[in-house]
Structure 1
């Protein structure tokens, strides 16, 4: 059996990547629409309702409009926008975060792809919250640096324009109003009383990211060592093929530095832990276009269609 797949928004960064990842899959038939046809609502509606599964790679408002056009109740939807990530009628698409989440995704017809920053933060904090180390009342500080591809075509073009050579060489913090669009899902999925104090930045590289969560040991509900935290992560994510827990950070680091790009072109997330007498730092490394976007979308598709979860994905 071939599954019909339609990518609504196939010309954007996430959509292009999903198409690239699926194009050689023999069990899938990709429905394609031209740039001109996508502006015709009736043609678009036809594609949306013919598919077995639809990826929505659109801005929030356009995503909601496309959902409203789907009248075939058998169509499964994976939305890569932020439109439905805190909607209880949609399933949050990180299969690894609870023992039952994978089954929820499998049985759902509406799944939202998490944000890239949110994925790194949630996967780092969830085991600590579930083990009573980090309290839901705690105020957590998080900083993230991501490749410029996360900003979509406009930012990619700006960084890669020869006329801008030297203009964007530094790390550039953004969302300095402290209200980044991933904050609602960070708070909602973890059940936090307050959203984290989160500051993202863009680096002068295309793909890859580091999400850094900062903890003050005196504020933790339990006294735990770095080794104990690593053991908690290993147990929590035991058997998860896309999650790697780093046990030896000396070998992991490159002369003391951590390269944001070493998970690129994979669906892997790596979690490493660092500490001092007073503080603890948890870093999630992932590809912002992989586990942070298109890779996560394809992983969810595989689960929803009952296929091998790692099909088309690199570890």
Structure 2
């Protein structure tokens, strides 16, 4: 039997990416609304309740409203907004970190920046190598497609700068999920930026050796990360030594690559994740969760 899917917000950037990945699948049936019915409350509620799995690609307030319109216990939800990422009763959509997405009825898609941060930091905290009260800094640079249609139009019209830092007041909606799902008791300082490239992103976490609980090397950190993701084809730990890392390194894919570097004395470390902000950072993660919830191969429709 085919699984019925309704994408609420299918005309947005993430929604379009998800539809592209689901195209042609014979194990799924897409529930759709004509353009003139998308804002009809009754039609929208009917579609939400008709589906086996609803994927919300909406602003936070609209996502909360959509969930309230579901009045049956059968319809399952994947929310790509940030509305439910630290909410009780919701499963965080990062199965590689041990969250049971397959059995969940409510799944919150991780943010793109937290995906890289959590892949680098959570295994170190769980292994006891990094204390929960560590005062961390995370810097992230994303392609402009992460800003949605208005930012895409701005950059593609030639009005975008080469590199743009934002959230300068050090308050960002991603910080609570970074803190909670890494198991931290101290919120990290988050320094996001946008680069003049369509997609891809780099997440960096610098560490002093004194922040770690014991003497360690870059190889030790790599071993912890590799042990945390032993059979996860979408996350790979680099054991090479690239001369440079680019924001586009994993663009156009649904994978993520983790790197660990250290100075010659192992007094300082530089942890780096590369991924696609629309792939593993958004639409790819939602499709992965959908596959698990529908009992399909987790990699169906994804690019490694």
Do both share a fold (TM > 0.5)?
A: yes
Runs of 4+ in structure 1 over 6 Å off: none
The whole-number CA distance in structure 2 between the counterparts of 1:202 and 1:31 is: 34
Q: Is 1:148 paired with 2:137? A: no
1:211 aligns with 2:207: no
Deviation at 1:269, TM superposition (A): 0.7
- SS of 2:101's equivalent in the other structure is helix
> How many pairs align?
302
SS in 2 for 1:201: strand
What is the CA deviation profile of residues 258-283 of structure 1, one whole-angstrom value per residue up to 9, with x for unaligned ones? 11112122211100001113210110
Is contact 2:125-2:183 (8 Å) kept? no
Separation of aligned partners in 1, 2:3 and 2:284 = 18
Partner Cα separation in structure 2 for residue 148 and residue 89 of structure 1:
32
Q: Output aligned runs, 1:8-47, within 5 Å.
A: 8-47=8-47
**1:66 corresponds to:** 66
Question: Deviation string for 1:129-180 (max 9, x for gaps)?
Answer: 111111111110110000000001110011111xxx2x43421101111111
Alignment partner of 1:96: what SS? Answer: helix
Using the TM superposition, give the Cα deviation of residue 3 of structure 1 relative to its aligned residue in structure 2, in angstroms: 1.1
Partner of 2:89: 89
SS in 2 for 1:137: coil
SS in 2 for 1:36: helix
1:309 to 293, 298, 301: 298
Supply the distance in 2 between the matched residues of 1:178 and 1:148 (Cα, whole angstroms): 20
Distance in 1 (alpha carbons) for counterparts of 2:59 and 2:121: 28
8 Å CA contact 1:132–1:222 kept in 2: the answer is no
Would the aligned equivalents of 2:56 and 2:81 in 1 still touch at CA under 8 Å? yes
- Of 246, 265, 289, 1:300 maps to 289
- Once the two structures are TM-superposed, the CA of residue 183 in structure 1 deviates from its matched residue by 0.4
Q: How do 1:264-303 and structure 2 match up within 5 A?
A: 264-276=251-263, 277=265, 278-303=267-292
Corresponding residue SS for 1:273 = strand
SS in 2 for 1:260: coil
Secondary structure, in 3 states, of the residue corresponding to 2:292?
helix
Q: Equivalent residue of 1:299, what SS?
A: helix
Report the Cα distance in structure 1 between the residues aligned to 2:39 and 2:162, rounded to whole angstroms. 39
> What is the distance in 2 between the residues matched to 1:205 and 1:59?
24
Q: Could you tell me the TM-score, scaled by structure 2's length? A: 0.97
Partner residue of 2:101? Answer: 105
For the residues of structure 1 that align with 2:268 and 2:164, how far apart are their CA atoms?
25
CA distance in 2, matches of 1:305, 1:3: 7
Report deviation, 1:123: 0.8
Cα distance in 2 for partners of 1:284, 1:140 equals: 15
Q: Is the 8 A contact 1:96 1:237 kept in 2?
A: yes
Matched, 1:186 2:186: no
Residue number among 219, 223, 234 corresponding to 2:215 in the alignment: 223
Structure-1-length-normalised TM-score: 0.94
Partner of 2:134: 138
- Give how far 1:224 is off: 0.6
Q: Which runs of 5+ in 1 are unaligned?
A: none
